[in-house]
């Protein structure tokens, strides 16, 4: 299945033979304190910068419901996020992994994002579109 939108991911997760739990890390964009004038200009033009984890959560696809519902829920926390990174965990049959099962994996995701190791995650923008980051 081609995942071009967050809702495609939800549908793919729902179709898996084993129940899924999705791990989500919402990130904000910014510049380091020592950014060069060129980096600042590029960032102001909508390019570059660094992504910093702001908040994270784990949920089953049923708990998420849809991308619009997720965005509404995330807005309640008052963080201006720009990219959400997503990974999945498989359960056994109809039993999804628990939040307790997910915690160390979620923390590992946050740590990986902090150092730029994002290849194992799918990033989505504010519109729910899957994006490619360089």
How many domains, the chain? 1
Residue 115 lies in a domain: yes
Residue 105 has pLDDT above 70, yes or no: yes
Mean pLDDT of the chain: 93
Residue 1 lies in a domain: no
Question: Where residue 127 falls among pLDDT bands split at 50, 70, 90?
Answer: very high
List the beta bridge partners of residue 129.
Answer: 5
User: What is the mean pLDDT of the segment spanning 56-70?
Assistant: 96
Is residue 85 a contact partner of residue 57, using CB atoms and an 8 Å limit? no
User: What is the mean pLDDT of the segment spanning 3-9?
Assistant: 96
Residue 12 lies in a domain: yes
Residue 130 lies in a domain: no
In angstroms, the CA 82 to CA 127 distance is: 10
Residue 132 lies in a domain: no
As to burial, measured by CB atoms within 10 angstroms (0-12 exposed, 13-18 middle, 19+ buried), residue 24 is buried
Residue 134 lies in a domain: no
Residue numbers of the domain that contains 54: 6-124
Question: Where residue 134 falls among pLDDT bands split at 50, 70, 90?
Answer: low
Nearest C-alpha neighbor of 14 from the set 96, 100, 84: 96
Whole-structure pTM value:
0.91
Residue 129 lies in a domain: no
Residue 62 lies in a domain: yes
């Amino acid at each position: 299945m081609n995942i071009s939108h967050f809702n495609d991911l939800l549908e793919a997760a729902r179709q898996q033979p084993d129940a899924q739990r999705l791990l989500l890390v919402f990130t904000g964009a910014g510049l380091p304190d020592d950014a060069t004038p060129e980096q600042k200009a590029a960032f102001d033009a909508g390019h570059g910068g660094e992504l910093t984890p702001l908040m994270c959560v784990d949920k089953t696809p049923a708990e998420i419901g849809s991308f619009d519902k997720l965005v509404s829920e995330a807005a309640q926390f008052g963080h201006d996020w720009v990219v959400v990174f997503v990974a999945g965990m498989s359960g056994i049959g109809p039993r999804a992994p628990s939040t307790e099962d997910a915690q160390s994996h979620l923390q590992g995701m946050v740590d990986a994002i902090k150092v730029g190791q994002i290849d194992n995650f799918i990033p989505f923008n504010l519109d729910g579109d899957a994006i490619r980051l360089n």
